[in-house]
């Protein structure tokens, strides 16, 4: 059994199977931006739906929001992004390619066989390490002095002549949670919510990441699934522990990730207002090891206090029982949707040898995406054995029985073996073959993806069988 070996293989497999394409490919692509193909969007939607189900539908204390990408520019002053959301950048003096200084330092230590925790290094320390060790660019050239580079993307709103004045500057949001803070009061009042409660949101975020080249792990346009849980300050510790465990359990039980490939990483260096912060990391083989997937942070009352200060609007809560007003504290869970998709694909991608080579006969292998059935883009493929009109009609009849409950795919091209392999590769749990006997006995053969076992069932029972076995 083999797993994906590197990012190049991952990228080309994801393209060939309609999961992920480079954006604007016909124009040579756009760095660190990707499009999701017919299979990719179905998988992404399924992951998002599972997140919303676990975070909102199955609970009674969390509600959803869809806030706009553009917010009042003061939002980003209050949040600290305008002044401080930056990476330390260095530039190759010859090629003018730009690099994140911390990445070059990390690689420098890795080449020496040393592991360093870059979280613990300040920008000044990183700059000093580059200087002291004469670290060069990956092309072997000298680097410029390190400088801070703000990651926020700016644009202008408005249709007047003054459109391109600084006054009309707005930012594409760098994280979705700021929209939650700005609507906290409206939601609490209009939904009549009592502490503790959460607001969850899935949506696009934008960051002008300095060289990424990590496929969909770090991109300039991406999606976050964030939840802010508002609570009384004395409950922080308990609530933090509950969310930390709930989020780890979701990756294991709902996304089907092997717990050995996941771990918690404690943040040793906390921002001044935070009382606890952990990442959930996944062991991305194609990225060389454990990398951040999700953050769970106890953020105190910092966010609502800042927005109260900058907007003049009191973002507090009135506790009727105790007759007191206070600013709620927040525990945040924040996970990348695209990173989750990358993890799910990497975890599920498997190359199996079905028959070892014998004499001149080469080995028989298949790539199978052993994805959780609930996440599979296509749940059932309907495959008539030949293109004879009677078989086509029977196969369409089967598809019509299923299509209102699940995504199906009709495929009549190539040999049946090739068609099975195509479906295995995109993770389709069930292939339904319609053959000549089906015309007489009104039955079809259903093949299961992982075991490749086949059962023959009357067409009338197919829908229930598949729905039952998708769980």
Residues that bind ligand GAP (CB under 6 A): 175, 177, 207, 209, 218-219, 222, 224, 226, 292-295, 334-336, 338-339
Of the pair 2, 213, the CB lying nearest ligand GAP is at: 213
Of the pair 293, 402, the CB lying nearest ligand GAP is at: 293
Of the pair 177, 398, the CB lying nearest ligand GAP is at: 177
- Please, what is the minimum distance in Å from the beta carbon of residue 14 to ligand GAP? 15
Of the pair 306, 338, the CB lying nearest ligand GAP is at: 338
DSSP type of residue 71: -
Reference 75, options 315, 306, 271; nearest CA is 306
- Please, what is the minimum distance in Å from the beta carbon of residue 465 to ligand GAP? 37
- Please, what is the minimum distance in Å from the beta carbon of residue 251 to ligand GAP? 12
Cα separation, 448 vs 379, whole angstroms:
11
- Please, what is the minimum distance in Å from the beta carbon of residue 96 to ligand GAP? 22
Q: H or E element: which one contains 382?
A: strand 380-384
- Please, what is the minimum distance in Å from the beta carbon of residue 339 to ligand GAP? 4
Are 76 and 152 contacting, i.e. CB atoms less than 8 angstroms apart? yes
Are 111 and 288 contacting, i.e. CB atoms less than 8 angstroms apart? no
Q: b/e per residue, 342-377, with b = 16+ CB within 10 A?
A: bbbbbbbbbeeeeeeeeeeeeeeeebbbebbbbbbb
Residue spans of beta strands (DSSP E) within 216-321 = 221-231, 262-266, 276-284, 289-298, 317-319
- Please, what is the minimum distance in Å from the beta carbon of residue 185 to ligand GAP? 19
Cα separation, 381 vs 427, whole angstroms:
11
Of the pair 316, 332, the CB lying nearest ligand GAP is at: 332
Are 63 and 56 contacting, i.e. CB atoms less than 8 angstroms apart? yes
Of the pair 37, 406, the CB lying nearest ligand GAP is at: 37
Task: Say which residues have a Cβ less than 8 Å from residue 236's Cβ, sequence separation at least 6.
Answer: 275, 276, 298, 300, 329, 331
Of the pair 284, 430, the CB lying nearest ligand GAP is at: 284
- Please, what is the minimum distance in Å from the beta carbon of residue 110 to ligand GAP? 21
- Please, what is the minimum distance in Å from the beta carbon of residue 293 to ligand GAP? 5
Angle at 277 between CA 272 and CA 281, to 5 degrees: 140
- Please, what is the minimum distance in Å from the beta carbon of residue 244 to ligand GAP? 14
- Residue 326's Cβ-side half-sphere holds a number of Cα atoms within 13 Å equal to 17
Are 341 and 10 contacting, i.e. CB atoms less than 8 angstroms apart? no
Of the pair 179, 427, the CB lying nearest ligand GAP is at: 179
- Give the torsion sign (CA, 336, 342, 343, 345): positive
Report the DSSP beta bridge partners of residue 227: 200, 333
Of the pair 218, 251, the CB lying nearest ligand GAP is at: 218
How much helix, strand and coil, in percent to the nearest 5, is found in the chain?
Answer: 40, 30, 35
Which residue sits closest to ligand GAP, CB atoms considered?
Answer: 336
Of the pair 75, 224, the CB lying nearest ligand GAP is at: 224
DSSP type of residue 2: B
Q: 395: buried, middle or exposed (CB in 10 Å: 19+, 13-18, 0-12)?
A: buried
- Please, what is the minimum distance in Å from the beta carbon of residue 10 to ligand GAP? 15
Of the pair 330, 402, the CB lying nearest ligand GAP is at: 330
- Please, what is the minimum distance in Å from the beta carbon of residue 207 to ligand GAP? 5
- Please, what is the minimum distance in Å from the beta carbon of residue 152 to ligand GAP? 12
Of the pair 135, 344, the CB lying nearest ligand GAP is at: 344
Q: b/e per residue, 182-204, with b = 16+ CB within 10 A?
A: bebbebbeeeebebbbbbbbbbe
């Amino acid at each position: 059994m083999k797993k994906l070996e590197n990012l190049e293989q991952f990228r080309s497999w994801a393209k060939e199977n309609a999961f992920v394409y480079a954006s604007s490919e016909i124009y040579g692509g756009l760095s660190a931006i990707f499009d999701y193909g017919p299979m990719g969007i179905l998988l992404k939607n399924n992951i998002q739906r599972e997140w919303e189900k676990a975070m909102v539908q199955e609970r009674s204390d969390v509600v959803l929001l869809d806030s706009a990408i553009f917010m009042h520019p003061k939002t980003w002053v209050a949040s600290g992004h305008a002044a401080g959301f930056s990476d330390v950048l260095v530039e190759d003096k010859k090629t003018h390619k730009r690099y994140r200084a911390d990445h070059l330092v990390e690689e420098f230590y890795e080449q020496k066989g040393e592991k360093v925790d870059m979280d613990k290094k300040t920008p000044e320390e990183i700059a000093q390490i580059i200087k002291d060790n004469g670290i060069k660019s990956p092309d072997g050239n000298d680097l410029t002095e390190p400088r801070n580079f703000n990651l926020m993307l700016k644009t202008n709103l408005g249709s007047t002549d003054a459109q391109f004045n600084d006054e009309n500057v707005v930012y594409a949001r760098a994280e979705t949670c700021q929209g939650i803070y700005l609507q906290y009061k409206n939601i609490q009042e209009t939904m009549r919510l009592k502490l503790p409660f959460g607001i969850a949101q899935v949506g696009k975020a934008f960051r002008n990441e300095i060289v990424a080249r990590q496929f969909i792990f770090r991109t300039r346009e991406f999606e976050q699934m964030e939840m802010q849980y508002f609570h009384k300050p004395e409950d922080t510790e308990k609530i933090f522990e509950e969310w930390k465990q709930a989020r780890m359990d979701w990756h294991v039980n709902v996304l089907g990730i092997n717990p050995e490939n996941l771990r918690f990483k404690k943040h040793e260096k906390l921002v001044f207002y935070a009382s606890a912060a952990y990442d959930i990391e996944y062991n991305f083989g194609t990225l060389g090891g454990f990398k951040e997937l999700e953050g769970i942070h106890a953020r105190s009352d910092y966010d609502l206090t800042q927005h109260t200060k900058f907007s003049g609007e009191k973002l507090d809560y009135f506790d009727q029982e105790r007759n007191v007003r206070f600013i709620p504290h927040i525990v945040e869970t924040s996970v990348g949707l695209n990173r989750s998709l990358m993890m799910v694909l990497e975890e599920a991608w498997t190359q199996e040898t079905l028959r070892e080579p014998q004499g001149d006969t080469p080995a028989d292998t298949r790539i199978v995406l052993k994805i959780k059935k609930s996440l599979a883009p296509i749940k059932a493929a309907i495959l008539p054995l030949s293109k004879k009109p009677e078989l086509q009609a029977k196969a369409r009849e089967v598809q019509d029985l299923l299509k209102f409950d699940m995504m199906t795919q009709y495929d009549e091209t190539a040999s049946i073996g090739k068609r099975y392999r195509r479906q295995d590769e995109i993770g389709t749990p069930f292939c339904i073959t319609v053959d000549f006997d089906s015309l007489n006995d009104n039955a079809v053969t259903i093949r299961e993806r992982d075991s490749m076992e086949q059962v023959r069932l009357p067409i009338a029972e197919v829908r229930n069988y598949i729905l039952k076995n998708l769980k």
